[in-house]
Structure 1
Amino acid sequence: MLAASLTACGDSDDSSGGAKTLTYWASNQGASLEFDKQTLQPELDKFEQQTGIKVNVEVVPWSDLLNRLLAAATSGQGPDVVNIGNTWSASLQATGAFIPFDDATIGAVGGKGRFVPAALAAAGAPGQPPTAVPLYSLAYALYYNKKMFADAGVTAPPATWEDLVTVGKKLTTGKQWGLAVEGANISENSHHAFAFGQQWGGEWFDSAGKPTFDTPQNVAAVKRYIDLMAVDKIVNPSNAEYAQNQSVSDFANRKAAMLLWQAAGSAFKAQGMAADEYGVAPVPFPATPPAGGKKVNSMVAGINIAVFKHTKDKDAALQFVKFMTSDAEQIQLNKVYGSLPSVTTVAADTAFQAEEQKVLAGVLAQSAAPLPQVADESKFETLVGTAMKELFADAASGKPVTDASVKEKLSKAQEQMAG
């Protein structure tokens, strides 16, 4: 597996005549890997025309990206430039494998003041130079099918989890389900664990950075999410096996009436769903927040772009980072993906005034919180996300999901973290 993951190492010269060549691992942002390749290639061609630097891109699925990044960081072999989920920033920073964006380096790509402060804050541990800069900004939202809502007599999107369950039951028929989830998607699971945990008054790490996975608050939060399938039965049990955007496809193909996702509009469009067919609303909150519950309904989501220290041409790599975060590319790429720009200079562009972008911007400004910027954050995502995958599998098979079984899974994850 390690050998397979280390193909296409970056090189400053190609074999045919000395032209500079970079290798770029892009994260899967659209409906498919091929969609992303088709979206990015014209921009990479434009960069080559402007600079003479060729960029070979590979779009990596989220299910593989973290492991491949860690393998490249350990081996010192791999691409020159990479996309990373911003929740992994501190974990990847701790490997020491990435170029720090100190004052001089960040100055080479436009300067610290160019980036949205909240996005830049999710690019590394506090008090240290970030080892990435923001590329795309995201937040979670609730997407709902307008026609399905109207046919069921539902006049507004649910604002509480209790309402979502009630609406979901009305919308669960023989032809469709109330809600689609991605039960085997480890990253998605951990993101929801964080947001639900905040709403239920839980924390996943204490002030010293030690894991606190199996607290009563976190147990209740995770159970509330799993119960959408296990107890409320508004989620198709087959969703327990979904790990590659199948829930997005179910929503776009009218198999589910609601979806919790980040900037899903471009994926819907790629599958033939028009923007006027769905509505976008903030993710719900509990009707009666538990003690200590916070008004948080999304992590501060986003994609950063980073440069490996092992690159053979740092200057060329930084030129590419500057290009990708330029005004023109921020407008072009974020418009295609339905995400928000990570630079302050284009936030007011007309491309970002649609309903979806306005809702996402409102969530980021008012009710999103960053995942803990601790070195073990990526392990949290892997371990807690896997525990939730196993709980969804239990729910799908009809095995009861209880407070005790949730606590057992989270305790095991916490022990593995300590190990």
Structure 2
Amino acid sequence: MRSIRAAAVGAVTMSLALAASACGGGSATGGGSNDSPKELTYWASNQGANVEVDKKVLQPELDKFEKQTGIKVKLEVVPWSDLLNRILTATTSGQGPDVLNIGNTWSASLQATGALMPWDDKNLDKIGGSDRFVESALGSTGVRGQDPAAVPLYSMAYALYYNKKMFAEAGVTEPPATWDELVETGRKIAGNGKWGLGAEGSNLSNNIHQVFVLGKQHGADFFTADGKPDFTSDGAVAAVKQYVDLMAKDKVIAPGNAEYAQNQSLGDFAKGKTAMVLWQTASATFRTMGMKDDEWGVAPAPVPSGAPGAGKQTNSMVAGINMAVFKNSDNIDGATEFVKFMTSEAEQKILNKAYGSIPPVKAAQSDPAFNGPATGVLRETLATSAAPLPQVPDESQFETAVGTAVKELFADAAAGRPVTTESVKAKLAKAQQQMPTK
């Protein structure tokens, strides 16, 4: 593998730096296409509780692929805090892996670089065709009307996870279905070192996921129909303020959560410090953190009416991981074969069971493992009440700019500084000014 220097990316990459989970957080050394048709380099995203968990999940499957094809796959699991910068470095330098995982929200942005192999009908036919995949997952693979930049690998959705013991101790018998109920429940629990809801104020991508959903509930999309940023609409401002107010006004989120990054809120949840978290497909992570399945419950994320659906009742973004191939790979055929293997029905069952995610391959969803109480909620959410983030070329800049604005507002809330409609609008106006001009 040839190393990639982060400095090679330049200012544009720094402006896109993302400290978060896309959809759902390794070394800093880099990778490169190779000259051997019997070897591939693969950058996998950190899906488990830590990088070592991913290696244990993935390596047996890569060994299986090598045994079947004779092609060795050199694995590197890249933390979410590094992944986008690493990818952008590779698109700029031309030196990257053969195959890589990307957050599905980045598909359009990375598609615009021209560095990824388009999945036209010919390429899709090599892996069994587009009909194998769930439609909602395909909707987050690039700009509509263009050949996909990637194919779906893991599908996820947000849900409300709650600690059954903490609920019982507070006399709460049902998980909250509306935001008012969530605040009421959180206030019943908060006190004596315990908090109602966990958040990750320094996790830019998670910030975006939460405020995007709240934006839909307030009738805002953050982009106009022609793809221009619209961060200061009344709905967008109301959405961001509602989210930050869970700490600033409602006092159900601990001030220390303003500094939390990836998975720190899940750690507090597993230790019984917070009673609820809004997260995507968290069950496997809870198990890794020592929780038993009967210690937590899962319910749809709150919506204004209490009944999730489309439009203002949207309660999740279409979360997930896509798999892409670098166009300049020296082993396009081997890379395509590897994608076919990873999206096969058998591998989809193995991998999505391990991560607690939902297979975007239709045939794999028939497995009973994806029809339990937790996964059933996620499947229903993806089918009926989730919406994809804007598939626009500037989406990754949006995640950075608005995610940072939310981070700064959480910092204000934690410090006791007022969070007002005016201060929220000012932060979002600043974020919009940072977006590329056409």
Task: Please say whether Structure 1 and Structure 2 have the same fold, judged by a TM-score greater than 0.5.
Answer: yes
**Counterpart amino acid of residue 31 in structure 2:** A
Which is further off, 293-302 or 4-13? 4-13
SS at match of 2:142: coil
The whole-number CA distance in structure 2 between the counterparts of 1:315 and 1:138 is 29
Shift of residue 64, structure 1, vs aligned partner: 1.5
Q: Say whether 1:11 aligns with 2:16.
A: no
Shift of residue 286, structure 1, vs aligned partner: 2.3
Match of 2:129 in 1: 111
Shift of residue 7, structure 1, vs aligned partner: 2.3
Tell me: CA distance 1:52–1:327, structure 2 relative to 1, closer, same or farther (3 Å).
same
After superposition, where does 1:142-221 map in structure 2 within 5 Å?
A: 142-221=160-239
Gaps of 5+ in 2: 1-5, 9-26
SS at match of 1:340: coil
Tell me, yes or no, if the aligned pair for 1:6 and 1:72 is still in contact at 8 Å: no
Q: TM-score, normalised by structure 1?
A: 0.96
The whole-number CA distance in structure 1 between the counterparts of 2:82 and 2:324 is 17
Tell me, yes or no, if the aligned pair for 1:160 and 1:287 is still in contact at 8 Å: yes
Q: Say whether 1:280 aligns with 2:285.
A: no
Match of 1:29 in 2: 47
2:336 to 297, 318, 323: 318
Tell me, yes or no, if the aligned pair for 2:304 and 2:313 is still in contact at 8 Å: no
The whole-number CA distance in structure 2 between the counterparts of 1:279 and 1:271 is 16
Shift of residue 244, structure 1, vs aligned partner: 2.0
Match of 1:2 in 2: 7
The whole-number CA distance in structure 2 between the counterparts of 1:142 and 1:119 is 21
Tell me, yes or no, if the aligned pair for 2:283 and 2:356 is still in contact at 8 Å: yes
SS at match of 2:65: helix
Tell me, yes or no, if the aligned pair for 1:6 and 1:77 is still in contact at 8 Å: no
The whole-number CA distance in structure 1 between the counterparts of 2:359 and 2:436 is 37
The whole-number CA distance in structure 2 between the counterparts of 1:343 and 1:274 is 28
Match of 2:152 in 1: 134
Match of 1:89 in 2: 107
Match of 1:49 in 2: 67
SS at match of 1:305: strand
After superposition, where does 1:313-392 map in structure 2 within 5 Å?
A: 313-392=331-410
Q: What's the CA shift string for 1:354-403, capped at 9, x where partnerless?
A: 11110001111111111111111111111100110111111111111111
Identity of aligned residues (%): 61
Shift of residue 176, structure 1, vs aligned partner: 1.5
Q: Say whether 1:401 aligns with 2:419.
A: yes
**Counterpart amino acid of residue 2 in structure 1:** A
Shift of residue 177, structure 1, vs aligned partner: 0.9
The whole-number CA distance in structure 1 between the counterparts of 2:32 and 2:187 is 51
1:72 to 90, 93, 98: 90
Which is further off, 303-312 or 59-68? 59-68
Shift of residue 5, structure 1, vs aligned partner: 5.8
SS at match of 2:172: coil
Tell me, yes or no, if the aligned pair for 2:305 and 2:313 is still in contact at 8 Å: no
Shift of residue 12, structure 1, vs aligned partner: 3.7
Match of 1:16 in 2: none
Q: TM-score, normalised by structure 2?
A: 0.92
The whole-number CA distance in structure 2 between the counterparts of 1:56 and 1:305 is 16
Match of 2:12 in 1: none
SS at match of 1:357: helix
Q: What's the CA shift string for 1:292-351, capped at 9, x where partnerless?
A: 961111111111000001211000101110010011110001001110001111111111
SS at match of 1:259: strand
SS at match of 1:417: coil
Tell me, yes or no, if the aligned pair for 1:162 and 1:287 is still in contact at 8 Å: no
Match of 2:141 in 1: 123
The whole-number CA distance in structure 1 between the counterparts of 2:77 and 2:256 is 27
Tell me: CA distance 1:349–1:408, structure 2 relative to 1, closer, same or farther (3 Å).
same
Q: Say whether 1:20 aligns with 2:38.
A: yes
Runs of 4+ in 1 over 2 A off after TM superposition: 1-8, 286-289
Shift of residue 30, structure 1, vs aligned partner: 1.1
Shift of residue 46, structure 1, vs aligned partner: 0.9
Q: What's the CA shift string for 1:217-242, capped at 9, x where partnerless?
A: 11111000001111111111111111
The whole-number CA distance in structure 1 between the counterparts of 2:306 and 2:352 is 36
Over aligned residues, Cα RMSD in angstroms? Answer: 1.6
SS at match of 1:100: coil
The whole-number CA distance in structure 1 between the counterparts of 2:359 and 2:224 is 32
Tell me, yes or no, if the aligned pair for 2:190 and 2:252 is still in contact at 8 Å: yes
Which is further off, 161-170 or 113-122? 113-122
The whole-number CA distance in structure 1 between the counterparts of 2:132 and 2:306 is 40
Shift of residue 121, structure 1, vs aligned partner: 1.6
Which is further off, 207-216 or 19-28? 19-28
1:411 to 416, 421, 429: 429
Tell me, yes or no, if the aligned pair for 1:202 and 1:293 is still in contact at 8 Å: no
The whole-number CA distance in structure 2 between the counterparts of 1:165 and 1:333 is 36
Shift of residue 85, structure 1, vs aligned partner: 0.8
Tell me, yes or no, if the aligned pair for 1:11 and 1:20 is still in contact at 8 Å: no
